[in-house]
Amino acid sequence: DIISTVEFNHTGELLATGDKGGRVVIFQREPESKNAPHSQGEYDVYSTFQSHEPEFDYLKSLEIEEKINKIKWLPQQNAAHSLLSTNDKTIKLWKITERDKRPEGYNLKDEEGKLKDLSTVTSLQPMDLMVEVSPRRIFANGHTYHINSISVNSDCETYMSADDLRINLWHLAITDRSFNIVDIKPANMEDLTEVITASEFHPHHCNLFVYSSSKGSLRLCDMRAAALCDKHSKLFEEPEDPSNRSFFSEIISSVSDVKFSHSGRYMLTRDYLTVKVWDLNMEARPIETYQVHDYLRSKLCSLYESDCIFDKFECAWNGSDSVIMTGAYNNFFRMFDRNTKRDVTLEASRESSKPRAVLKPRRVCVGGKRRRDDISVDSLDFTKKILHTAWHPAENIIAIAATNNLYIFQDKVNSDMH
Amino acid sequence: MEFKLEAHRIVSISLGKIYNSRVQRGGIKLHKNLLVSLVLRSARQVYLSDPCPGLYLAGPTGTPAVPPPQQPGEPVAGPPSGWGEPPPPAGRAAWPEPEPPPQRPMVCHTPGAGSSEPVTSVAGAGDALRGGETDSAAAACCPPAREEQPVGDGSPAPPAPCPRKRGAAGVGGGRAGCPAPGSTPLKKPRRNSEEQPSTTDEDTDEEMETGNVANLISIFGSSFSGLLRKSPAGGREEEEAEESGPEAAEPGQICCDKPVLRDMSPWSTAIVAF
């Protein structure tokens, strides 16, 4: 099924994917073994479960899709792993536990008929590893509109969920109530001009969070300032370039994803054609802007017709915040090195992904000289889009979701972050 | 000229998207529809502001939140003068009630000025504006004039595909203005609304004649809410129920409350999708 979200856990040992059918598949990285050095650290399926089912809201005659919009891992606090998964309306907390021993032995007498010492009747015997997943909390009825993001707070006790117009704060242990912390619904819906598109808690400051809007702005809010954070603490907005104005200016400026850097100092945003790095200390404009596929700027009308212009691409930081990555069309994904200012386009496809093959950089030519392996803009396959990508928190391992295939690439040469 | 055609095309595509969004799984997506409405509005502004002889402009009389760059009365492609007066700012909310009598005699503001089209289109609009047309003075129409409306923009368009557009045009026309001479005369909106629900849109979008488009533009220009209508079945009840809490149970496939236009027009009913 079509993968709709990809997320590494905090150590990178586990990788969770959600799909349109409401299923979650968790991959685990095999520990590197000296016996088979070549299969070091590969990811195998660890667990699969059905997280959400399609529902029907009879009151509004609405079908609620089971597609998993987002998965977020909770920091691990004991032997079990926990994650939050959400569809359009309901968030669920899943606990993943392992069972590798089972009690055996119930006979009070041994083979010779002698009574056994009661303390030895039952013993724990090793068994094949079994991964058990159970829903521990169901956070329902918190949202009228479609949930687009969830984010776990650094306090490990609360998390927030955002829909088009509102953001709610939940406690992980309490399912029957949540606090509304942002509400941008106008009194008169006819005055609606922007919606919330993504939101995230600051990685270190438990009182700060950011949310992006369809108008291309970011708002940093401080929960200490007020119970309802409708007034932002900071507003990050770049004035529009009037020379680029078109019918579709508003659509392409809508932010589809926002991610804090691991350091907490920067934010990364993705809109239709660019990724931008913002410094929390500068609201006037981003400090860096990278063109993902500017050659599409002249094709916006046909992309609008095909609905491609509404595609919501995600973006990701590497562990050291030196490289940013995002997806594009034709199963291409792009990486930008912030230090060297070099960028690369790679392709996630079966042909280029034989095990241990080296990915070859691709190039899209926009007229002018065409080199041999270049792809022309017109031959790009817009049905092959990479919307969801994730970067291992510490190593150069990336997970790329290409429609219904998951690709995991590792940079063996440069395993350490630099 | 190219801009106008481009804008025209974009408007039809946008309307198609809004229509389709009603039937897609998971309910109407607020974000996407908002973006589509913004595009629609931009296209409309360009459409209305791009002076082009030979093409009339159904001015943005009904428009509200975003005042059009030009007033309807401005000389664009020779629309008869005086056909449309800029409606009062609150005009946009004044969608007519979807009341019964399709043929409601209305005051004809447009001085018949020798051109029957404006009157007819306005009439068509008035048709759609069944009931209380509060502030759309421009929407006045003369019932008799309506009869004269030929069908289709000069082409005997089959009722099925076109009616919706006509209806739309009708309503918009009533509010916004009149088609330029030679542009599509409007069919009776009543028929439009009846046939609307069953029409598919993609093809008809392309067949949309300028006149209708302009009217549509004016309608949709009015507000985002104008684009999202509840299902026709529940439409009327919703009209009243609208104020009773946006998030209250609403029939229809809207997952978030969309403001129901104050005065429902059969055109809106016609545009089931919206």
- A85-112 pLDDT, tens digit per residue, is 999 999 999 999 999 999 888 888 888 8
**DSSP secondary structure letter of residue A296:** G
The confidence score (pLDDT) of residue A72 equals 98
Closest CA to B185 of B141, B120, B127: B120
Question: Tens digit of pLDDT for each residue in A117-147?
Answer: 888 888 888 999 899 999 999 999 999 999 9
Return all residues near B210 (Cβ < 8 A) that are at least 6 apart: B8, B55, B56, B153, B179, B180, B183, B184
Higher pLDDT, A282 or A353: A282
List, as one string, the DSSP characters of A207-272.
Answer: TEEEEEETTS-EEEEETTT-SSTTS-SEEE-----GGG--TTHHHHHS--EEEE-TTSSEEEEE-S
pLDDT band of residue A34 (cuts 50, 70, 90) is low
Pairing of strands A23-29, A179-183: unpaired
> Helices B161-176 & B210-222, crossing angle to 10 degrees?
60
CB A56 within 8 A of CB A89: no
Which residue positions in chain B have pLDDT lower than 50?
Answer: 53-211, 213-214, 217, 221-222, 226, 229-274
Set of chain B residues whose Cβ sits within 8 Å of the Cβ of A180: none
The CA R_g of chain A, rounded to the nearest whole Å, is 24
Strand partners, A275: A270, A290
**DSSP secondary structure letter of residue A313:** -
User: A–B: how many Cβ contacts below 8 A?
Assistant: 106
The confidence score (pLDDT) of residue A219 equals 96
Set of chain A residues whose Cβ sits within 8 Å of the Cβ of B42: 247, 249-250
The answer to whether the Cβ–Cβ distance between B34 and A214 falls below 8 Å is yes
Nearest to A247 among B34, B43, B93 (CB): B43
Is the pLDDT score of A26 beyond 60?
yes
The confidence score (pLDDT) of residue A247 equals 83
Closest CA to A4 of A392, A386, A411: A386
Question: Tens digit of pLDDT for each residue in B134-173?
Answer: 343 333 334 444 444 443 343 443 444 444 444 344 343 3
- CA B5, distance to chain mean position in Å, is 18
Residue A194 near chain B (CB below 8 Å): yes
CB A105 within 8 A of CB A130: no
Three-state secondary structure along chain B?
CHHHHHHHHHHHHHHHHHHHHHHCCCCCCHHHHHHHHHHHHHHHHHHHHCCCCCCCCCCCCCCCCCCCCCCCCCCCCCCCCCCCCCCCHHHHHCCCCCCCCCCCCCCCCCCCCCCHHHHHHHHHHHHHCCCCCCCCHHHCCCHHHHHCCCCCCCCCCCCCHHHHHHHHHHHHHHHHCCCCCCCCCCCCHHHHHHHHHHCCCHHHHHHCCHHHHHHHHHHHHHCCHHHCCCCHHHHHHHHHHCCCCCCCCCCCCCCCCCCCCCCCCHHHHHCCCC
The confidence score (pLDDT) of residue A203 equals 97
ipTM for the predicted complex: 0.88
CB B21 within 8 A of CB A233: no
Q: What b-and-e string marks burial along B199-211, b requiring 16 or more CB atoms within 10 Å of the CB?
A: bebeebbebbbbb
Residue A308 near chain B (CB below 8 Å): no
The answer to whether the Cβ–Cβ distance between B39 and A146 falls below 8 Å is no
The answer to whether the Cβ–Cβ distance between B250 and A144 falls below 8 Å is no
A223-to-A240, A264, B50, B101 alpha-carbon distances in Å? 29, 17, 48, 55
The confidence score (pLDDT) of residue A111 equals 84
Residue B247 near chain A (CB below 8 Å): yes
Is the pLDDT score of A204 beyond 70?
yes
Nearest to A60 among B38, B92, B255 (CB): B255
Mean pLDDT of A388-399: 95
Is the pLDDT score of A40 beyond 50?
yes
The answer to whether the Cβ–Cβ distance between A194 and B17 falls below 8 Å is no
The confidence score (pLDDT) of residue B159 equals 40
Q: Which of B44, B63, B256 to mutate to test the interface with A (most CBs of A within 10 A)?
A: B256
Helix (H) or strand (E) holding A319: none
Q: A87 to chain B: nearest residue by CA?
A: B26
- Angle (CA) B63-B66-B71 rounded to 5° is 60
How many Cα neighbours within 13 Å face the side chain of B273? 22
Set of chain A residues whose Cβ sits within 8 Å of the Cβ of B255: 57, 60, 62, 144-146
The answer to whether the Cβ–Cβ distance between A250 and B224 falls below 8 Å is no
Set of chain A residues whose Cβ sits within 8 Å of the Cβ of B9: 301
CB B137 within 8 A of CB B83: no
The confidence score (pLDDT) of residue A121 equals 83
The rounded distance, in Å, linking the Cα atoms of A135 and A96 is 9
Is the pLDDT score of A82 beyond 70?
yes
Set of chain B residues whose Cβ sits within 8 Å of the Cβ of A145: 30, 255-256
Nearest to B34 among A148, A195, A301 (CB): A195
Strand partners, A23: A50
Residue B254 near chain A (CB below 8 Å): yes
Residue B258 near chain A (CB below 8 Å): yes
Set of chain A residues whose Cβ sits within 8 Å of the Cβ of B27: 60, 62-64, 88, 146
Helix (H) or strand (E) holding A171: strand A166-171
Set of chain A residues whose Cβ sits within 8 Å of the Cβ of B224: 189-190, 192-193
Question: Tens digit of pLDDT for each residue in A292-351?
Answer: 999 999 999 999 999 999 999 999 999 999 999 999 999 999 999 999 999 999 999 887
The answer to whether the Cβ–Cβ distance between B225 and A59 falls below 8 Å is no
- Token reading at A70: 């987002």
The answer to whether the Cβ–Cβ distance between B252 and A188 falls below 8 Å is no
Global pTM value: 0.70
CB atoms under 10 Å from CB of A63, counted, come to 17
The rounded distance, in Å, linking the Cα atoms of A115 and A31 is 44
